Structure 1
Amino acid sequence: MYPCTALEENDLVTIWQSKIMAAIISLFISAIHTGIFLLNRWRLNAIETAELKIKASELQEAVMRSKLESLKMQLDPHFVFNNFSTLTELIYEDQKEAASFLENITRVYRYMISNSNKDTITVKEEIEFLNAYFYLLKKRLGEKIDLQIEIDSALFALHLPPLTLQLLVENAVKHNTATLTNPLTITIFSDSGDIIVRNKLQQTAGKSLVSTGIGNKNIEFRYKILSEKMPVFSESNGYYEVRLPLI
C-alpha cells in the first residue's frame, strides 16, 4: 500500500470541502423553501382568519339588524286593546269625540306604517306622533296624567330611533301610580343638545321601573346599533330621568 502524496491529500480535502459546501447549500436552500412554505401557510391562515372574522362580523350585524327590525315598531298590546275599548264606549256616548279619537288612532298607526322601514326619525315627527299617542292615553286616564313638552326647535331636524319617546312615556304610565289627587306628570325637554324625559317616582308597589321587551332594553339596543352615544337612565331626588342623545 502506497502512502498518499501531498497532491492526493489536497484532492481529498477539496472533495470533502465541496461535499460540505454542497450540504450547506442544500440545507440553506431547504431552509429557504421551508421558510417560504411556512410564510405562505401563515399568510393563508391569516387571510382565512380575517375572512372568518369578517363573516362573523357580518353575521352578527345581520342578527342585530334582524333584532332591530323586530323591536323597531312595537306597541303594548294592552294599549291597543284599551284604545278600541275606549272607542267603542265613545261611539255610544259621544260620536264627535269618537271621531276625534279614531283620527288619533289613525295618526298613530299611519306613523308606524310609514316609518316601519326607518331606523331613525326626526325629533319633530316623533313629537307629532307622541302627541297623538298621548291624546289616546289622556282620553282614557283624564286628569290623572299630564305631558309637558319643551324642546328647542333647533333640534327638530335631528334624529332618534322611532317610538323612543313613546316607549318612555308608556313606561312612566305603566310603572307609576296616577290618580286625581296625585297625577303623574311627564316632562320632556331639551338640555345641551340632548332630550330629557323626566317623571316623579310614584311607583306602584311590587313593580319595577325596568320594562321587558319594549322598554329600556329596547331603547338601549337600538342606540347601540345606531349611535356611538348611549342613553342614560337615572334616579335622583325622587325623579326618574332618561337622557337621550340625538343622532
Structure 2
Amino acid sequence: MTSLDSLIQENPPLAREFLQQLSKVFRYVLKNKEKGLVSLETELNFIKNYVALLKTRFGDSLSINFNISDEVLDLHIAPVTLQILIENALKHNITNLANPLSISILNQNNYLIIENKIQLKKQVETSNGQGLNNLKSLYSFLSEKEVLIESNGTFRVKIPLI
C-alpha cells in the first residue's frame, strides 16, 4: 500500500496499473485460500500478477525467470506456494541495483524448483524461521514426496508437483 500511495503522486498511470495487479492478487488469494490444491497453471498466472507488483517496487534490482514445461501445467501445488518462496528470497537476500536478485522458477522430474544465488542480508528483521518449515509440513500432508531444500551458493527449494 505504501508503494501505491507514493505512485499516486509520482506516476498516476503506473499507480492505476499497480492497483489493477494488486486487485488480481487479492482476488486470487480470497478465491483459493480454502482450496488444498490449484493447478500449476493457475498458480503461475497468479504469480505473474504478483511479480508485476514486485517489479514496480524493486525495478531492475529484481528479476524472476520462468522456465516451465507445458506438460506439467495441469499438475497441482498448494495455493500461494510461489508467493511464499519469492517473499522468502526477498526477505533473506540483498536486493538492490548493485546486487540485483535473480530468482528462477523451473520444473524438473515432477518438482517445481525455485532458486536464487545466495546474497544474504546481515540482519533479517521479521523472520521467525518457520516459513519453510510450515511449507514442508503442509506438503507432507499433500504428497508422499517431500519438499527438498538445498543451499550451496544457490538456495534451492524443490516443491513436489501433485
- Same fold per TM (> 0.5)? yes
Where relative contact order (Cα < 8 A, 6+ residues apart) is larger, the structure is 2
Equivalent position of 1:234 in the other structure? 150
Q: 221, 225, 230: which is aligned to 2:137? A: 221
Q: Which amino acid aligns with 1:234?
A: E
Supply the distance in 2 between the matched residues of 1:172 and 1:219 (Cα, whole angstroms).
14
Show the 5 A alignment for 1:117-156. 117-156=34-73
Supply the distance in 1 between the matched residues of 2:137 and 2:155 (Cα, whole angstroms).
20
Deviation at 1:119, TM superposition (A): 0.4
Equivalent position of 1:97 in the other structure? 14
Deviation at 1:212, TM superposition (A): 3.4
Q: Look at both structures and tell me which one has the larger radius of gyration over its CA atoms.
A: 1
Identity among equivalent positions (%) equals 35
Is 1:243 the equivalent of 2:153? no
- Show CA shifts across 1:174-204 (max 9, x none): 0000121220000011112211111000001
Task: Give the length in aligned residue pairs.
Answer: 161
Q: Which amino acid aligns with 2:133?
A: K
Q: Which amino acid aligns with 1:223?
A: Y
Q: Which amino acid aligns with 1:244?
A: I
Deviation at 1:207, TM superposition (A): 4.1
Supply the distance in 1 between the matched residues of 2:109 and 2:145 (Cα, whole angstroms).
14
Supply the distance in 2 between the matched residues of 1:125 and 1:218 (Cα, whole angstroms).
22
Q: Is the 8 A contact 1:195 1:243 kept in 2?
A: yes
Deviation at 1:206, TM superposition (A): 3.8
Show the 5 A alignment for 1:34-73. none
Cα RMSD for the two superposed structures: 1.5
1:129 and 1:211, CA in 2 relative to 1: closer, same or farther beyond 3 A? farther
Structure 1, gaps ≥5 residues long: 1-83
Deviation at 1:228, TM superposition (A): 1.2
Q: Which amino acid aligns with 2:83?
A: Q
Deviation at 1:132, TM superposition (A): 1.0
Q: 126, 144, 158: which is aligned to 2:75? A: 158
Supply the distance in 2 between the matched residues of 1:148 and 1:125 (Cα, whole angstroms).
17
Supply the distance in 2 between the matched residues of 1:192 and 1:228 (Cα, whole angstroms).
14
Supply the distance in 1 between the matched residues of 2:112 and 2:14 (Cα, whole angstroms).
32
**Structure 1 stretches of 4+ moved >3 Å:** 210-213
- Show CA shifts across 1:38-93 (max 9, x none): xxxxxxxxxxxxxxxxxxxxxxxxxxxxxxxxxxxxxxxxxxxxxx1111111112
Q: Which amino acid aligns with 1:170?
A: E
Equivalent position of 2:115 in the other structure? 198
Structure 2, gaps ≥5 residues long: none
Q: Is the 8 A contact 1:184 1:199 kept in 2?
A: yes
Supply the distance in 2 between the matched residues of 1:211 and 1:157 (Cα, whole angstroms).
33
Q: What SS does the aligned partner of 1:133 have?
A: helix
Q: Is the 8 A contact 1:145 1:184 kept in 2?
A: yes
